[in-house]
Amino acid sequence: MTFNKFQIKPVKTSIDRKIFLDVPDIVYRGDPNWVSPLRESIANQLSENNPFSQYGEFQAFIALSDSSEEPLGRIVAAINQRLLDRETRKVGLFGYFECVEDLEVARSLLDTACQWLRDRGMAVVRGPIDLSTHNNCLFLVEGFDSPPVMMMPYNPRYYPEFIEKLSWQKAKDAYAYELPLDKPLDYKYEKGYKIALKSGITFRNLRTKGKEFEEDVRDLYQLFTTAFTNNWSSSARTEEEFMAEAKDLQQLADPDIFIIAEDRGKMVGLFMCLPDYNIALKHVNGTLNLWGILKFLWHRRNITTTRTIAIGSLPEYRRKMVSLALIYLGRKGGIGKKRPYTWSELSWVWEDNSPSRKIIEATGAKIYKTYRVYEKVL
């Protein structure tokens, strides 16, 4: 599909794939807040060997200048059959969107993705979602004055402006909260911990080595599948997929801030928090070669902030104050270190997830970033 000053072409060759991975370097050149994703990770997500190919299909596209063939943008259109099995409509996805500040380039990329989905029978397109919400998703719409924390999205201000000019509609917002750790929690969290103990709940840290790690991950998979199965726009993962994702994070986990709740040996709740490795990744420019690894190891010493990714318990244990207890122990583990953490982002939380938002806001955490997913009828 060719336009006046640029062309949109499908990604087919190794050269195309390299251009696709190069686009963010052009879009974010000079942006002090941008943290480059690991190129190898993005390439693996879009490889033919990705398990996604067993239950979905996708096509990547790039925008190139006609005159110089300079990369101008990229997008991926995707159909996630597992998501379709949960939805009442035929919902296609767009993701991996990056674009220079040119409305017509953005329009053409989005139109191309929509046409690809329309040709395959989709009735609605939703995004940005990179194949599934378990990968990167959401556009940042408020809170551009600070860098993203680990595994959170970041984009130029003009992305939401462009997509709204192109008549896309808000589907749902999500929030990121900031919580300084230098202020004590309300006593009710410690009280919740004591109530949980009296109810027979025990607490421990994640085990991060060998077979014990694999055992914990299998139990975490069952817990996630039960406690978070109804998350909006989320699609199911197999245990093998979950294990592979967990192993990618195995060396990054800090057991002091990853707390597990059990009832007679059964995992019933978790507090999942990770150090903000974006502080170190910012210095490796998306590549963990030998020099990148050395830079990463050097700068990880400066990490004093965290991202709290998930807090939850099985529904039948919420009256036993398990979630409050987990927050109490997670904070205690974070500030009790030789080099204590000073701040945590709690993210992301859907705007209509009232139970989670109520628990988070009771800690004193405040919304400081807003994200959005958009939809358009095809």
For 261-291, write each residue's pLDDT tens digit: 999 999 999 999 999 999 999 998 888 888 8
So what's the pLDDT on residue 2? 46
318-343 confidence digits (pLDDT tens): 889 999 999 999 999 999 998 899 99
Rounded to 5°, angle at Cα 54 from 120 and 60: 50
pLDDT at 123 over 50: yes
Q: Which residues contact 264 (CB under 8 A, 6 or more apart)?
A: 200
**Burial track 54-64 (b if 16+ CB lie within 10 A, e otherwise):** ebbebbbbbbb
352-373 confidence digits (pLDDT tens): 999 899 989 999 999 999 999 9
Residue 160's H or E segment, with its range, is helix 158-165
Give the mean pLDDT of 135-158: 96
So what's the pLDDT on residue 15? 94
pLDDT at 245 over 80: yes
DSSP secondary structure string for all residues of 246-293: HHHHGGG--GGGEEEEEETTEEEEEEEEEE-THHHHTTTTT--SHHHH
DSSP secondary structure string for all residues of 220-258: HHHHHHHHSTT-TT-----HHHHHHHHHHHGGG--GGGE
Structural contact between residues 292 and 165, judged by C-beta atoms closer than 8 angstroms: no
- The confidence band for 75, taking pLDDT boundaries of 50, 70 and 90, is very high
User: Quick one: CA dihedral 327, 332, 333, 339, positive or negative?
Assistant: positive
Q: Where are the domains of the chain?
A: 6-174, 183-341
Most confident among 36-45, 89-98, 276-285 (mean pLDDT): 89-98
So what's the pLDDT on residue 118? 98
What are the phi and psi torsion angles at 180 (to 5°)?
Answer: -65, 140
Distance between alpha carbon 285 and the CA centroid of its chain, in Å?
19
Give pTM, 2 decimals. Answer: 0.94
Structural contact between residues 347 and 369, judged by C-beta atoms closer than 8 angstroms: yes
Structural contact between residues 153 and 139, judged by C-beta atoms closer than 8 angstroms: yes
pLDDT at 237 over 90: no
d(CA 84, CA 206): 34
Residue 203's H or E segment, with its range, is strand 201-205
pLDDT at 3 over 80: no
So what's the pLDDT on residue 343? 96
So what's the pLDDT on residue 257? 97
At the fourth CATH level, the homologous superfamily of domain 183-341 is Gcn5-related N-acetyltransferase (GNAT) (3.40.630.30)
Q: What is the mean pLDDT of the chain?
A: 93
Any idea which fold 6-174 has? Answer: Aminopeptidase (3.40.630)
d(CA 246, CA 222): 13
6-174 and 183-341 in the same fold: yes
pLDDT at 1 over 70: no
So what's the pLDDT on residue 4? 62
